[in-house]
Each structure stands twice: as structure tokens, then as C-alpha cells.
Structure 1
Amino acid sequence: MPQDKIKIFSIDHDKVVDAIMATGRANYRYAIENFVPLINRLEIQRKVQNPRFYERLKRDILRECLMPPITLAFIDPDHINVNTAAKFGAFVTKNIENGFILDGIQRLSTLQRAHNEHEDKFPIEQPIFVNILLCKSMDNLLYRMITLNNGQRPMTTRHQIEILTANLFNFSDGDIDLTTEKSGLRRKPGIFSHSDFVLGYMAFLSNSTNVDSQKLIQEKLDDLLASKILEHDPTENSVQFSEVVDLIKILTEDENLDKWFRINNNLIGFCAGIRKSYTPIRRMNTKKVRDAISSFEEAFRSFDVSKIKLGRARRNAVEYFILNAKKMFGASATEITDKLVDVLE
């Protein structure tokens, strides 16, 4: 098999996430040249485990074993154009640098080590089998990732979301710049914390503000988050998080709204409630949104902070306010206060 080709055997449609799943075969040469570079492509990629755990696999590779298939993933909104094996194979060849490893990082790292240490007897033409998932959106891909990995402790739900936000949101090309807390840029205009957007994305996917509760141990929080995400049919999600990010970009051009979104509890509440209100808010001019947020803040100041858990209360209040934007935007501060009393009890 030529080293620059991957042969596709079958193409099937995953109706749950509206994705194409293909099965194919390459060889070790192709894998080393094209799959291995994807291992370290992500800043927060899952770490390669201790090599000694994979010594037996390394020996088996040198003896020409057939490894279990690895899984690649791609995002392409127009995948309707890859409905034949030939077209799918051409897509993979052209876009391989944009793919990432969904399953098989440890196997590929072991494959590379076997090649580097024993090149003279390495079976370079040995077949390697591949499953390739092609999704139209990152939200649907994440749903499939969680159904595959839920219950497997090495990769948490949050880590999967972190991987996707790092890989699929090229914020540096837009109006929203992301940074880590260590960079020292957190307070500068136009800079958002990457960790805040991870929480916002989790809130959006789960329709919940309960994304980082300190009351739960991490394992139980991860189970809760995964279950909330899996409650929803991904094909019913007409709004993608990328559209929410674009909306936030537009709104944060206003200085007051920029400051408001920079409070992470506001961002989380907004993302948790925006799915059903995206269209009406998207159609509003920025001034109307700013005035509505101003009325919300006036209403929220009516509550005695000594009698509520401020962070949780703000998230839940914002979620309710955004979720019910059609009737809440334009309401007076007094009317908003009256509605929030029940929400914050």
C-alpha cells in the first residue's frame, strides 16, 4: 500500500450524532508519518503513560501483531461531499493534519518507540486498522466521545471538553482572546480565561450551571455532568456552541457587556440558558441587550448577599433571565426581582 494513502472499506451513518463513521486500513509507515504527529498536537492532550506498561505491546509490534483499530476524528460541516469510499479517503489524506486521535494514543506512541529503537527489524508495511468519525459539529462529536469514554477514569468529561475547546476554537483569529491564569493578562481588555470558556461550554452542553461544584468529589461531579449531557438528543440541538461564541464576540464589543461577561458566573449562567433564547437575543441590537442586563443587575442588587450563596445565586439568576429572554428582556427591575425571588429560594 502506498505510504500516502489510506484505504477505506466501509462508510456508515451514525444517526444519533448525524455523523459518518468509516473503517479503513493503512500501514505502520503511514501511521508513523501521519497519525503519530497528531499525538502532541493539542496543548492539553492526554499524557502518554509510562512506557514500561507497553513493553509487551512493543515486542508484539516487532513480531508483526495486528493492533486493535485506532480512532481518528474530524470536524467538517460539509461532510455530505464524502459519501463514497474514494471521496472519504481523499478527504482524510487532504485533512489529516486537522484530525486528532480519539482513541489509540498509547498504541501510537508505542509504535513510534518500537520504530525508533528497532528500525532495522521494524515491520514498516504491517497493516494498521482505523475507525474514522466525521462529525458536522464539535457538540455532536463531544456527545459521542462521552458515550465512548464515560466510566473510563483516564479521561474525564471535563478533559474531553478542554481538548475540544483547545483544538476546535481558534479564538486567536477572532475578537475573543483566551489566556491561562498564569499569563498575567486576565485583567486586560479583550482577554478571557480559557478555563472560564471550558466551564461555559460545559454549562451549554448540560443546560446546567452545576459544572464545578466544590461539594462533590471530582469523580461524582464528572458522572453528573456526563449524565446531564447525555440526557439530550444531539440532533435536536439547533444551536452550536460556536454560534454562542460568535454572539458573545458581538456583544462584548460593548464595553459594559464586556465587563459583565468577564465575571465567570455571568458567562456560565448565560451559556446554560442561551440555547432556547439564542435566536431572539441574536436578533436584538446590542443596546437592547445592554439595557436588559442593566435591569437584571438592578434587580439582583435587591437581594441580601448575606442570605444567599452569591456565586451560585448569580449563575442561576442569569440562567433563568437568559432562558426566558423573550419575556424578561424589556421587563422592569421590579418585575425581574419578583421572578428571581422564586428562582433563588
Structure 2
Amino acid sequence: MKFEVVGIDYDNRINNFMVSARADYEWYLEKTQGSEENLAIQRDIIKGSKPYKNLRADLKIGCILPTIVLAVRNIDASVTNNYSENDGFITASRDDLDTLQNAIVNTTPANVDIVDGLQRTNALRQTLMELNDEERSIFLQRSLRLEIWINIAFFPLAYRMLLLNAGQRPMSMKHQIDILSGGLAEDLQDLPGIEIIRLKDHKRRVRPGQFHLSTLAQAFQAWMQRSPNVDRTNLVVETMVVDEALESLGIDLTDNDGNQRDGFRQFVDWLLQLDRALGEDQNRFFGNDTVVLGFAAAIGFAHKNETLQDRLPSAMTKMIDSANADQENPLGVITFDQIRRSVDTKRSNVGEATRGLVFRAVREYIMQDGTTPMAECWTQAASMM
């Protein structure tokens, strides 16, 4: 197996080093084995389309694939400190490149995500299965170009991915966020009391603090786009949402205080505190994805609103204190349940109606700086349904 780091570059927009590398198919397929399972929800693999059938035929002949983009986490990249981030063309020493090379070689597939190239990877695996033993040996020795983002955090990678895909729109924003969810889990896993459940864990939420990674990925999208409805079927609306998300991520990446990252982490921290305040008796409340998305969208709305962003911290502190103090009806969940059960299923989509109800109620609570109990906010929000 062959793998070679050929250079490093620094992206001043997202403040991260990128490694340029070459590998043979054998090294690449082994290093990315199971990467699809690292992701909470993966983009559907295209198996029967004519373009990918043609690609497999070309691979058998020996075509060169476009560069595949990977994200590699938890490696020692300290040698990058030897280079100035302001150098437009970094000339790294062979010793330092070898150090990075060894660090990447020694990482496990669990720390490797395919950011761009899942379909090409699947085409490689399918082509390999179609070859006999002698053909496989030759096939696995062919070279592949790689772009590897090392120890990159979720938020800058999300910006980069959305930006590059904005023009061609090969997959929805939701799919792109889902693909990056492994980095999101890394970024949130140190929050007190959180347990992130991945799809491969085959576990259900049974206590406060447990959240499925797919739910958190959708919550990030709802928080960023300030809307509780993350499934977009209208391409015009989807384009507007992505453009707004890019502007939002781009502005916050410029800020040195990590506003974007800290803002979403703060939301999840508030979510955890509220979840604990409700306790196991009300475990179903935040176990409902529609509730989490509604909260995320409302807090994202306030986070980006010049009028509400100053009220947000105090309002959430009051909400948490109130939930801890009220043992009978914390967060007015009894009122919420009564309103939700009254939704006319013949006239409304219950999921959309619930997400909208939560979004409006929490937004109303923040607008009033926590001076109105949540039970009343549920009633006010219901009047807008």
C-alpha cells in the first residue's frame, strides 16, 4: 500500500491546514472502510445510474478520478506550527511532511470522514468487486489524489462544503449537514451531561441528556436557518436558505471570538439544562425531534436578531430557573401537550404544526425577556396556528 503527503496549504478563510496527498486505491479503500457508518445519515449511494456505470467502466481502463476530499480528526499536526499562516505558498520540509504522513497513516477509519467523494468511493468498491484476482492486484495499485483537512472543526468545514456545493447543488443542505455530523459530535461531546447516540449504536433515548446525532445535525440546520422546517423541497427556497446560511457562517468565521461555534454550543448547553430540569418524568418532551427543532430555530432566530440577542441569555436563564422550580408543570409541558393533541390531523401536518408551535412559543418567551410563563406562551403561540 502506498500513501504520500506531497504538500500542505493554509486556508486563511477557515483558519485550517490542508494536506495534499497521493494514495493507491488499496490504501484509500482500507482507510475509508466503514466511513459511511461514521455518519448519522449519509447521502444515498447511487448504484444504477448510467453515469456511474460508465465511471466503473472507465475505472477498469485506468481513468484518473477527481480529487477526493477527506476530513481526518484526532491526529498530531504540531509540525504545522513550523510554518507561517501568511505564506501564500508553503514549502514544507520533507521531514515535516513525513511526520504528517505517519500521523495520517496511523489514524483509524473511525476518525476519517469522506467530505466529497462518497459516490466515487462506492464506484471504486463496486469496480473492485467486478474484477478477478489478477485484475484486482493491478487495480489496487493505481493512484488517487486526496485533499485532507486535518483536525478541522465542524463549523468551518460546514462553511467550506456549503460554499463549494452552492453553485452545482448536488445534494440538499440537509444532506450536507448530515455528512458533516461526525465533526459536530466531536465539537459537542465535552458538554456536561451530554450523550450523543450515533445510528450504529442502535440505542434509544431513555434518559435526559441523550440525543441522537441525527437530531443534533438537524437542530444545527434549524438554528442556522432560523426555521424549524429543515426539509426543503422547493429549490428556490433551498437556494435562499443556503445563501443565507453561507452569509451567516461567513460572518461568524471572520469573528475571532468563535461566535458561530459558541452560539450553537450555548444552545445545546441550554437544551441539556432544560432536559435535566424536566427529569425522567418528562423525558418524552425533548425526546421529540419536533420540539428540539422548534427550540433550535427560535434560539437561532434570537441569536441573529439585533433586538433579541441581548435578551436571549437572560431569558434562557429565567426559563431554566423556572423549569427547575416548577415541579408540577415545568415549561408548561401539560399545556403544550393539550394544544398539540388538539391539532386537526385532517387539516394540518402534525409535525410541521408542532415545530411551528414550539418556534413561536419560545420566540415569544425570549421577546418578552422571560417575563411571561411558558404556559402562557404556548397559548399565545397556539392562537397563531
Q: TM-score range by the shorter chain?
A: 0.7 to 0.9
- Displacement of 1:328 in angstroms is 0.9
1-side partners of 2:144 and 2:220: how far apart? 35
Contact 2:35-2:112 within 8 A present in 1 as well: yes
- 1:119 equivalenced with 2:160 (yes/no): no
| Residues 66 and 249 (structure 1), Cα distance of their counterparts in 2 relative to 1, 3 Å cut | same
Quote the residue 2:240 is aligned against.
Answer: 224
| Residues 126 and 249 (structure 1), Cα distance of their counterparts in 2 relative to 1, 3 Å cut | same
Q: Determine which of 92, 104, 113 is the counterpart of 1:92.
A: 104
Counting only pairs closer than 5 Å after superposition, residues 151-166 of structure 1 correspond to structure 2 as: 151-165=167-181
Quote the residue 1:239 is aligned against.
Answer: 262
Aligned residue pairs total 331
Contact 2:222-2:293 within 8 A present in 1 as well: yes
Quote the residue 1:255 is aligned against.
Answer: 278
Quote the residue 1:17 is aligned against.
Answer: 14
| Residues 311 and 249 (structure 1), Cα distance of their counterparts in 2 relative to 1, 3 Å cut | closer
| Residues 20 and 166 (structure 1), Cα distance of their counterparts in 2 relative to 1, 3 Å cut | closer
Contact 2:71-2:150 within 8 A present in 1 as well: yes
- 1:145 equivalenced with 2:156 (yes/no): no
- In the alignment, structure 1 segments of 5+ residues that lack a partner are none
Quote the residue 1:270 is aligned against.
Answer: 295
- Displacement of 1:211 in angstroms is 3.2
- 1:319 equivalenced with 2:363 (yes/no): yes
Q: Determine which of 25, 30, 34 is the counterpart of 2:31.
A: 34
| Residues 220 and 193 (structure 1), Cα distance of their counterparts in 2 relative to 1, 3 Å cut | farther
- Structure 2 SS opposite 1:125: coil
**Deviations 1:31-55 (CA, angstroms, capped at 9, x unpaired):** 2322354245435322332255434
- Structure 2 SS opposite 1:328: coil
Amino acid at match of 1:200: A
- Displacement of 1:321 in angstroms is 3.3
**Deviations 1:164-192 (CA, angstroms, capped at 9, x unpaired):** 33674389996456599xx9967x55465
Contact 2:278-2:324 within 8 A present in 1 as well: no
- In the alignment, structure 2 segments of 5+ residues that lack a partner are 82-95, 304-308, 344-352
| Residues 282 and 328 (structure 1), Cα distance of their counterparts in 2 relative to 1, 3 Å cut | closer
- Structure 1 SS opposite 2:69: strand
Amino acid at match of 1:74: V
- Displacement of 1:156 in angstroms is 1.1
Q: Determine which of 295, 317, 321 is the counterpart of 1:287.
A: 321
Amino acid at match of 2:296: C
Contact 2:59-2:127 within 8 A present in 1 as well: yes
Q: Determine which of 220, 231, 244 is the counterpart of 1:201.
A: 220
**Deviations 1:91-121 (CA, angstroms, capped at 9, x unpaired):** 3223341111112222222323333314313
| Residues 218 and 74 (structure 1), Cα distance of their counterparts in 2 relative to 1, 3 Å cut | farther
Amino acid at match of 2:321: K
1-side partners of 2:336 and 2:41: how far apart? 37
| Residues 124 and 163 (structure 1), Cα distance of their counterparts in 2 relative to 1, 3 Å cut | closer
2-side partners of 1:112 and 1:268: how far apart? 36
TM-score for the superposition, normalised by structure 1 = 0.72
CA RMSD of aligned residues (A): 4.7
Amino acid at match of 1:127: S
**Deviations 1:221-253 (CA, angstroms, capped at 9, x unpaired):** 432331221121241325164553344223311
Q: Determine which of 36, 47, 50 is the counterpart of 2:47.
A: 50
| Residues 312 and 65 (structure 1), Cα distance of their counterparts in 2 relative to 1, 3 Å cut | closer
2-side partners of 1:23 and 1:316: how far apart? 47
